[in-house]
A and B are shown apart, each in its own frame.
Chain A
Amino acid sequence: GAVVSQHPSWVICKSGTSVKIECRSLDFQATTMFWYRQFPKQSLMLMATSNEGSKATYEQGVEKDKFLINHASLTLSTLTVTSAHPEDSSFYICSASRQIPNYGYTFGSGTRLTVV
């Protein structure tokens, strides 16, 4: 149980275009979804926290107009990278916290974004 499905697993896009990444909780309700970015050989850096039905909270230094997050339902959260640039190329991964049956975090499989 406690599966988060993330799509796409990889995407290549041209500079200036937008890319949408989806995370779905398949067998539990994800009240809160966390979005991380991971550059090569670095750690996971929290970008934003999204709560179902409300605006996302962004970490310092993360542009909210560039990284649009929508959490319209208890099972779906999306991250849209707008006007992508090569420096946005990274590994993006979502994570949902759960309380039942045991406390923990479930990660999506990640999305490798390459902007050319």
Chain B
Amino acid sequence: GENVEQHPSTLSVQEGDSAVIKCTYSDSASNYFPWYKQELGKRPQLIIDIRSNVGEKKDQRIAVTLNKTAKHFSLHITETQPEDSAVYFCAASKGMGNSGYALNFGKGTSLLVTP
């Protein structure tokens, strides 16, 4: 099955700096790569996603890049703010076009943004 590796497990940055979280996946058939932010006791919240036919996507301070050849994708957060502090999960799925495939999650990154 799909194996998603995520690094680092913890990340501490100063407010205003950038944060980068990286993930690799094993199944070349994966075609959908979302990133989630999860606060304690809450459901994962989608912050950005990318499909396999796109190399980069940006939404304000958040961007995601995908390298299909190397099977890795990264989350970039610029101008970090204290409210960005949370646990971030990457995930991969080959479910686009077929609803029967689940998301496989990385182990998560605990991001701390200090003022």
Interface string of A16-55 (1 = CB under 8 A from B): 0000000000000001101000000011111001010000
For window 89-103 of chain B, which residues contact chain A by CB distance below 8 Å?
Answer: 89, 93, 95-97, 99-103
- Most chain B CB within a 10 A radius of its CB, from A31, A91, A104: A104
Q: Are B46 and A104 in contact (CB under 8 A)?
A: yes
Q: Is B35 an interface residue (CB 8 A)?
A: no
* A31 CB contacts on chain B under 8 angstroms: 99-100
- List CB contacts (< 8 Å) of A90-104 with chain B: 91, 93, 95, 97-99, 103-104
- Tell me if A109 counts as interface (CB < 8 A to partner B): yes
- Contact A95 B103, CB 8 Å, known A44-B89, A105-B34, A107-B44: yes
> Could you say which residues of chain B place their CB within 8 Å of the CB of A32?
99-100
Complex contact A43–B107 (CB within 8 A): yes
The interface size bin for chain A is 20 to 34
Let me know if B106 and A34 touch, CB within 8 A.
Answer: no
Given contacts A105-B34, A110-B42, contact A42 B95 (CB under 8 A): no
B49 touches A98 (CB 8 A): no
Q: Mark A68-107, 1 if CB is under 8 A from B, else 0.
A: 0000000000000000000000010101011100011101
Closest to B41 in A: A112
Confirm or deny: B104 has a beta carbon within 8 angstroms of a beta carbon on chain A.
Answer: yes
Contact (Cβ within 8 A) B96 A103: yes
B103 CB to closest chain A CB (Å) equals 6
Q: Which residues of A contact B (CB under 8 A)?
A: 31-32, 34, 42-46, 49, 51, 91, 93, 95, 97-99, 103-105, 107-110, 112
- In addition to A42-B107, A44-B105, A93-B44, 14 A-B residue pairs with Cβ atoms within 8 Å of each other are A31-B99, A43-B89, A44-B103, A46-B102, A46-B104, A49-B100, A49-B102, A91-B41, A97-B99, A103-B51, A103-B97, A104-B34, A104-B49, A105-B103
- Cross-chain pairs A/B with CB under 8 angstroms, 9 sampled: A42-B107, A42-B108, A91-B41, A93-B43, A95-B102, A99-B97, A105-B93, A107-B44, A109-B42
